[in-house]
Amino acid sequence: MNIAKDKVVSIDYTLTNDNGEVLDSSSGREPLAFLHGHGNLIPGLEKELDGKVKGDKLVAIIAPDQAYGIRSEELVQEIPMANFQDASQVKVGVQFQVENEHEVRIATVTAVGESSATVDMNHPLADQTLHFDVEVMDVREATAEELEHGHVHGAGGHHH
């Protein structure tokens, strides 16, 4: 079975940056399972996996615009301290999730002043070219429920 939209794909992977540093890996864990074609992976990696079959191995080098995006200074913002639920938790390096109607972003506190903090909402991997070393462990049909939810249930996926 070839990888295509609406298939459930399991992969083992190691993600490294341009310097060869390992950023993430499924090594020692169960393979990552995802519903293909639903934006659960970065676009560049979905594209590279299209049409592959169980047992295929590939090295995919993904440019930032097909990965976590290009850094934007508009995503660096001054937030008044009064807007934080607990100002004592606001420290340089602290990360938290910010949700709007479209997406969840990871925000990182980069500076803390008397009455405001600077928060960077660029993805921590923005501007980075990503190197994925991937092995396709399984490809199967999605269940009706998985298609309805837009994500995988069971091993390697969501549990609920």
Residues in touch with Zn ion (CB under 5 A): 149
Question: Which of 38/149 has CB closer to Zn ion?
Answer: 149
User: Could you tell me if 15 and 131 are in contact, meaning their C-beta atoms sit under 8 angstroms apart?
Assistant: yes
Question: Which of 75/147 has CB closer to Zn ion?
Answer: 147
Question: Which of 105/149 has CB closer to Zn ion?
Answer: 149
User: Could you tell me if 128 and 70 are in contact, meaning their C-beta atoms sit under 8 angstroms apart?
Assistant: no
Minimum CB separation from Zn ion for residue 141, in Å? Answer: 16
Question: Which of 54/149 has CB closer to Zn ion?
Answer: 149
Minimum CB separation from Zn ion for residue 36, in Å? Answer: 16
Q: Which contiguous run of DSSP H or E holds residue 133?
A: strand 130-141
**Residue with the shortest CB distance to Zn ion:** 149
User: Could you tell me if 91 and 29 are in contact, meaning their C-beta atoms sit under 8 angstroms apart?
Assistant: no
Minimum CB separation from Zn ion for residue 153, in Å? Answer: 6
Minimum CB separation from Zn ion for residue 88, in Å? Answer: 36
C-alpha separations of 90 from 14, 22, 42, 61 in Å: 32, 28, 30, 36
Both tokens of 140, joined, read 């199967």
- The CA distance from 57 to 136, in Å, is 6
